[in-house]
Structure 1
Amino acid sequence: MLDISNVTRRFGSTTAVKSVDLTIPAGQMVGVIGASGAGKSTLLRMINRLVVPSEGSILFNDTKVSSLSGQALRNWQRDCAMIFQQFNLVPRLDVLTNVLLGRLNHRSTVSSVLNLFTREERAMAIAALERLDISRTALQRAGTLSGGQQQRVAIARALMQEPKVILADEPIASLDPRNAQVVMQSLRDINQSDGITVITNLHTLDTARTYCERIIGMAAGEVVFDGGPDDLTEAAARRIYGADGLEEAFSESVTFTSFAAGKPKVRPTAPPEIAIAIAGA
């Protein structure tokens, strides 16, 4: 369970997140929505400890995340995988190597520097790529992929961390509708199949309603809504987005949710051309 208690973050005279109290049970799929500047990204970054809270505490089970440092903090950032809007891949490296980088916090410094990934780790990476229907790209440079493919590589890399929590910061903001659908379905599949807690920042209402069992709305750094998809009424949307933001929040006729819902196809086995990659040759 993730327990966020009275968490505040200030940047100079600006309060980005103000007195947030949330309890998130293990295995929930949570969408955090709100207009730009509402504090969504800062909240996720505090959970991952990329940003330190100014006040309050964050606990995961019996671990006080907000006080961690050194190796204990690195262990938490391994267990709490972060997926970013801009993918954060290494464009010149191939897809398989980018995915294997998710194992770095499980390995010794020497083996990480020497890039000594085991056959088992390579097989694990290929399995993650297969699950996300992009195993045929394993030997391509990451920079040659489409945005949607790169985001799926980033999710595969997160899976390599064997996380307990996945945080996704606007994971579909820069994607076309079809790729946005595939990415959100992938995150939901991971949540439902693996029981991993997924917390994702989203800009629009329809996306949150379609994929998240719980929705948290933020405005001006505060939580102003916390409920299920059916509770997200127009009145609630006004609290989250304000009257001026309602048209943008509800105007989603051409977004990915207009596509038929369904899981992306997954190939059952790795293509022959990447078998050599598993062997580490």
Structure 2
Amino acid sequence: MLEIRSVTRRFGETVAVDGVDIQIAEGEMVGVIGRSGAGKSTLLRMINRLIDPSEGAILFKGREVSSLKGAALRRWQRDCAMIFQQFNLVPRLDVLTNVLLGRLNHRSTALNLLNLYSREERIQAVAALERLDIAHTALQQAGTLSGGQQQRVAIARALMQEPKVILADEPIASLDPLNAKVVMDSLADINAREGITVITNLHTLDTARRYCTRIIGMARGKVVFDGAAQALTAEAVRRIYGAEAGADAVPEAITSTSIETPAAPEPAFAG
């Protein structure tokens, strides 16, 4: 469904993504992992067309989206929703209005300039907030919410686009473990219930294994692993995270946000 064909992106003399070839089927939940600077965010931004490939092509259902312009490009960015690490909400606007902004590419320029939304759109926005268990925040300014709540607002806004693909660029990197779990549970639920393809960049191996049916590992702009979560062996982890340092193994504790639950104490018995 989504094809990335020999895609390269250069920034001056720096090659951020280097000849990547990937095919992603409809309805997959894919985790892209790797060290900072591996090319993960650049890859997602090229798919969404926030930046253009230097070489290669990106196709969706056989149509080349890497060459779209104007209204056709706006339709692709509507169908390919983007969720960012830093939420990209408008802090001074209330939560409901932030969610309604997901309808921009479905509406006329006049309606957008007048900031007019139909009753049906408002109902849809409240339903998206209810699904993410934050409807009670609808009239609060977005900037007053916690990070976890703001990321759920960003997911609700993405749902308002009625997308075919959701790209999540490090959606839990700035969240504590409990809020990270809530956000990943929400993305997994959307993937399972709607069948929407989800591609998410992650730093944490335990999160990728738990939520993603397929994992793509990147190092120095190249894909060095592409397979099922259970196939992510110690050797594959070394290629993704440890090759530059020449490490024989990478401790997974340094790539984990797991919540350690203390073991219950042994019951005491009278002698």
Q: TM-score range by the shorter chain?
A: over 0.9
Amino acid at match of 1:170: E
Q: Give the gaps of 5 or more residues in structure 1.
A: 260-281
Distance 1:134 1:175, change over 3 A: same
Q: What is the SS of the residue equivalent to 2:51?
A: coil
Percentage of matched positions with identical amino acids:
74
> Which range moved further: 4-13 or 239-248?
239-248
When normalised by structure 2's length, the TM-score is 0.92
- Tell me the residue number matched to 1:124: 124
C-alpha displacement at 1:63, in angstroms? 1.5
C-alpha displacement at 1:62, in angstroms? 2.5
Residue by residue over 1:52-97, the C-alpha shift from the partner in whole angstroms, topping out at 9 and shown as x without a partner, is 0000010000320111011000000000000000000000000000
C-alpha displacement at 1:250, in angstroms? 3.8
- Tell me the residue number matched to 2:152: 152
- Tell me the residue number matched to 1:251: 254
The answer as to 2:21 corresponding to 1:18 is no
Residue by residue over 1:109-149, the C-alpha shift from the partner in whole angstroms, topping out at 9 and shown as x without a partner, is 01001111000000000000000000000000000000000
- Tell me the residue number matched to 1:265: none
Q: What is the SS of the residue equivalent to 1:30?
A: strand
Alpha-carbon distance in 2 for matches of 1:191, 1:118: 27
Paired residues for 1:105-254 under 5 Å: 105-242=105-242, 244=245, 247=250, 249-251=252-254
Alpha-carbon distance in 2 for matches of 1:126, 1:62: 35
Q: Is the 8 A contact 1:2 1:59 kept in 2?
A: yes
Q: What is the SS of the residue equivalent to 2:66?
A: helix
Alpha-carbon distance in 2 for matches of 1:89, 1:247: 36
Amino acid at match of 1:251: I
Alpha-carbon distance in 2 for matches of 1:236, 1:258: 25
- Tell me the residue number matched to 2:72: 72
Amino acid at match of 2:81: A
- Tell me the residue number matched to 2:266: none
Q: Is the 8 A contact 1:79 1:163 kept in 2?
A: yes
Larger Rg: 2
C-alpha displacement at 1:152, in angstroms? 0.1
Q: Give the gaps of 5 or more residues in structure 2.
A: 262-271
C-alpha displacement at 1:204, in angstroms? 1.4
Distance 1:96 1:238, change over 3 A: same
C-alpha displacement at 1:229, in angstroms? 1.0
- Tell me the residue number matched to 1:87: 87
Q: What is the SS of the residue equivalent to 1:10?
A: strand
C-alpha displacement at 1:258, in angstroms? 5.0
Alpha-carbon distance in 2 for matches of 1:226, 1:258: 29
- Give the total of aligned pairs: 258
Alpha-carbon distance in 2 for matches of 1:141, 1:79: 27
Amino acid at match of 1:110: A
Alpha-carbon distance in 1 for matches of 2:105, 2:151: 21
Alpha-carbon distance in 2 for matches of 1:88, 1:95: 12
Q: Is the 8 A contact 1:180 1:256 kept in 2?
A: no
Q: Is the 8 A contact 2:241 2:250 kept in 1?
A: no
Q: CA RMSD in A?
A: 1.3
Alpha-carbon distance in 2 for matches of 1:201, 1:252: 13
Alpha-carbon distance in 2 for matches of 1:219, 1:257: 27
